[in-house]
Amino acid sequence: MNALKNLVDKVKPHFEKGGKLEKFHSVFDGFETFLFVPNTTSKRGTHIHDAIDSKRTMVMVIIALIPALLFGMYNTGYQHFLAIGQQVSFLDTFIFGALAVLPLIVVAYGVGLGIEFIVAQIKGHEIQEGFLVSGMLIPLIVPIDTPLWMVGVATAFAVVFAKEVFGGTGMNIFNVALVTRAFLFFAYPTYMSGDVVWVRTSDTFGLGAGNVVDAYAGATPLGQVATSATTDVNLVNIIKEPISFIDGFIGLIPGSVGETSTLAILIGAALLLITRIASWKTMFSVFAGGALMALVFNTWGPDTAAAHFPWYNHLVFGGFAFGAVFMATDPVTSARTETGKWIYGALIGAMAIIIRVLNPGYPEGMMLAILLLNIFAPLIDYYVVEANIKSRLKRAKTN
Amino acid sequence: MSKLISDKTKEIFLGPLGKNNPVTVQVLGICSALAVTSKLEPAIVMGLSVTIIVAFSNVIISLLRNTIPNRIRIIVQLVVVAALVTVVSEILKAFAYDVSVQLSVYIGLIITNCILMGRLEAFAMSNKPWESFVDGLGNGFGYAWILVAVAFFRELTGSGSLLGFKVIPQAFYQAGYVNNGLMILPPMALILVACIIWIHRARNKELQEK
């Protein structure tokens, strides 16, 4: 650490005013403050100082995402070798998955940070750290076989139109990673849904070549539910072996890279809750709202497989848990009042289940539910604040 | 003989094409800009129709301007516009049936296009017929070029074609290129119009609010 600090201090004068690399001050500043907590403080106004700043917060979220990422890598390899019917060691499985996921991460970060750096240079302000988390979320919420150029186009679109036009990090109305996914979903629907994109059946950089086994069918559990002809659906994995709640919880099932394992997501959730970065109210109420809505459909719903999909299964299959833990709790786009968080979370959960059950076109509703509630978050906050003002006025008058 | 087209007339014509564009500056006529721009051909027809209707209704209202009682002027304007819209709609049905089917209700809805009422109220009611005609042409073309620009990008990226002809080579598709389905959906029209407004304001600093 000390050696790193010395190096940073040594090159620092070049980037200061008058130095030969002055133009790149914002880039340097971005890296320096990423590595070390800055020792400059605000000079005007009242400020509360805390050891944690937004860069440290972002890094914590990244750490919380690592279990889901690592599991996603392993699962990508696992599904691949399951599809081609080969038995390989744990390490080979993981390496295959890591090589498959890595390009997605590189493209998402490369494009997103590239735009952030350019915008920072043009506007002459510091590089904002918001993309650190978005860039990690994007690879985790797309199918493994999404073409890389699509990820690049979608990331560029989302960073420019969902973030920079609103004023950059902290000003965006919509969750940037979800806008990326929504763009992909509506622009290239055949690459984002259906039953061929969730499992990589071809080789990755020459590794793991093989032919798909006869029994192979790549539909996700929710895809099977959506296309089921009977109300009672028997979930199967990609080689037609039955799966149940516990498989959904552990996550060795087809799906977007990071969303399959509820277990890995919950480890991340625990970290976010212990460090108090995410709000437990939002997180809990998303699950509660979703469970309640699914129970309502289980009891009184129409005669479709989606409506009769048990409520506990709704919570572990698809992107529900991932959305609840990492997307709904985004501090920028979610409700900020404490009461508002309950309402916001519960509505996300309920809306996600409603879309899953009542719209056969969308087997998964979490993305649309969160984006929808992102719009309403300020409204919810507004009415919570208004209600508080009213009740306090009432109290003041009666006394 | 004085100049055929005076500087003032020129300004009346050129203003709406650039600095005073009805769509990008006054933000009028957005609804039809979203509805008809997924393909280039209907956008061009729509642009021309609106241009013709604005120009001629401007002339007619300008000729009548001194005889219209103030209290019923909106009704008179509507009658004139409605008559012209009906004529254009019938002509399209007779000579360009396919396009008129694609445009469906939007030709009829030109009656409610804000640009029309805006020009009639703001310009034709207080200017001479020739100037009004030029103003109508200017605003019509100002509207049309935005539509055509938006439709150009939407059809190119959304369907890979222009005016129905495939322009993106087959080799691209074989290499993995896919048409962008989002471009066909209405939200992208809004975003593209926003991009044009963005560029427009960046180039004309006086349009930016302080």
The predicted structure's pLDDT at residue A2: 74
Among A163, A186, A192, the strongest candidate for a mutation testing the B interface, having the largest count of B CBs within 10 A, is A186
Tens digit of each residue's pLDDT (9 = 90 or more) over A122-160: 877 777 777 888 899 999 999 988 889 999 999 999 999
In sequence order, the 6+-apart residues with CB closer than 8 A to the CB of A217 are A195, A236, A238, A240
Angle at B27 between CA A178 and CA B76, to 5 degrees: 140
Window from A246-255, B46-55, B167-176, B189-198 with minimum mean pLDDT = B167-176
Nearest-CB residue to A147 (from B176, B183, B185): B176
**Beta-carbon separation of B181 and A186 below 8 A:** yes
Question: Under a CB-based contact definition with an 8 Å cutoff, are residues A176 and A161 in contact?
Answer: no
Q: Which residues of B touch A (CB under 8 A)?
A: 176, 178, 180-183, 185, 191, 198
Compute the distance between CA of residue A183 and CA of residue A327 in angstroms, rounded to an integer: 16
Compute the distance between CA of residue B157 and CA of residue B192 in angstroms, rounded to an integer: 12
* pLDDT of B207 above 90: no
| Chain A residue closest in CA terms to B158 | A187
Tens digit of each residue's pLDDT (9 = 90 or more) over A195-223: 778 888 777 777 777 777 777 877 888 88
Q: In this structure, how many other beta carbons lie within 10 angstroms of the beta carbon of residue A246?
A: 9
Q: Which residues of A touch B (CB under 8 A)?
A: 147, 149-150, 153, 161, 165, 183, 186-191
> How confident is the prediction for chain B on average, in pLDDT?
84
Place of tokens 């009184």: A300
State how far the alpha carbon of A389 is from the alpha carbons of A336, A380, A382, A397, in Å: 16, 14, 11, 12
- B165–chain A nearest CA distance, Å: 21
Question: Under a CB-based contact definition with an 8 Å cutoff, are residues A294 and A309 in contact?
Answer: yes
- The secondary element (H helix, E strand) that includes residue B161 is strand B161-162
**Beta-carbon separation of A188 and B176 below 8 A:** no
Nearest-CB residue to B178 (from A165, A186, A188): A188
Structure tokens at A396: 């003041």
CA dihedral over B104, B110, B114, B115, signed as positive or negative: positive
Structure tokens at A182: 């929504």
**Beta-carbon separation of B176 and A187 below 8 A:** no
Nearest-CB residue to B181 (from A161, A165, A189): A189
The predicted structure's pLDDT at residue B1: 44
Compute the distance between CA of residue A29 and CA of residue A129 in angstroms, rounded to an integer: 11
Compute the distance between CA of residue B30 and CA of residue B11 in angstroms, rounded to an integer: 24
**Beta-carbon separation of A187 and B182 below 8 A:** yes
In 3D, which of A260, A315, A261 has the Cα closest to residue A290? A315
- DSSP secondary structure code for residue B112 in this structure: G
- A155–chain B nearest CA distance, Å: 14
In sequence order, the 6+-apart residues with CB closer than 8 A to the CB of A131 are A109, A112, A113, A116, A159, A169, A176
In sequence order, the 6+-apart residues with CB closer than 8 A to the CB of B67 are none
In sequence order, the 6+-apart residues with CB closer than 8 A to the CB of B7 are none
State how far the alpha carbon of A254 is from the alpha carbons of A83, A221, A323, in Å: 11, 8, 17
Q: For B187-197, give one letter per residue: b (16+ CB within 10 A) or e.
A: ebbebbbebbb
Residues of chain B with Cβ-Cβ distance to A150 below 8 Å are 178
Among A166, A188, A193, A197, the strongest candidate for a mutation testing the B interface, having the largest count of B CBs within 10 A, is A188
Compute the distance between CA of residue A176 and CA of residue A185 in angstroms, rounded to an integer: 14
Structure tokens at B148: 């055509």
- The secondary element (H helix, E strand) that includes residue B166 is strand B165-166
- The secondary element (H helix, E strand) that includes residue B186 is helix B186-203
Tens digit of each residue's pLDDT (9 = 90 or more) over A74-110: 999 898 888 888 888 888 889 988 999 999 999 999 9
The pLDDT of A48-54, averaged and rounded, is: 72
Q: Which of the residue ranges A46-55, A283-292, B22-31 has the most confident prediction, judged by mean pLDDT?
A: A283-292
Residues of chain B with Cβ-Cβ distance to A183 below 8 Å are 182
**Beta-carbon separation of A189 and B191 below 8 A:** no
- The secondary element (H helix, E strand) that includes residue A200 is none
Residues of chain B with Cβ-Cβ distance to A149 below 8 Å are 176
Angle at A374 between CA A372 and CA A376, to 5 degrees: 80
Model ipTM value = 0.81
Tens digit of each residue's pLDDT (9 = 90 or more) over A312-330: 888 888 889 999 999 999 8
Compute the distance between CA of residue A307 and CA of residue B96 in angstroms, rounded to an integer: 48
* pLDDT of B88 above 50: yes
Compute the distance between CA of residue B123 and CA of residue A78 in angstroms, rounded to an integer: 71
pTM higher than 0.80 for the full model? Answer: yes
- DSSP secondary structure code for residue B162 in this structure: E
Structure tokens at A110: 């490369």
> How confident is the prediction for chain A on average, in pLDDT?
85
3-state secondary structure of A265: helix
Window from A99-103, A294-298, B6-10, B54-58 with minimum mean pLDDT = B6-10
In sequence order, the 6+-apart residues with CB closer than 8 A to the CB of A52 are none
Residues of chain A with Cβ-Cβ distance to B176 below 8 Å are 147, 149
In 3D, which of B23, B35, B18, B49 has the Cα closest to residue B189? B35
**Beta-carbon separation of A187 and B191 below 8 A:** no
| Chain A residue closest in CA terms to B180 | A187
Structure tokens at A123: 């506007």
3-state secondary structure of A157: helix
3-state secondary structure of A128: coil
- The secondary element (H helix, E strand) that includes residue A139 is helix A131-140
- The secondary element (H helix, E strand) that includes residue B180 is none
Read off the amino acid at residue B66: N
Question: Under a CB-based contact definition with an 8 Å cutoff, are residues A83 and A103 in contact?
Answer: no
In sequence order, the 6+-apart residues with CB closer than 8 A to the CB of A137 are A65, A177, A326, A327
Compute the distance between CA of residue B77 and CA of residue B81 in angstroms, rounded to an integer: 6
The predicted structure's pLDDT at residue B2: 53
- B143–chain A nearest CA distance, Å: 24
In 3D, which of B46, B55, B21 has the Cα closest to residue B123? B55
The predicted structure's pLDDT at residue B33: 77
Among B173, B182, B195, the strongest candidate for a mutation testing the A interface, having the largest count of A CBs within 10 A, is B182
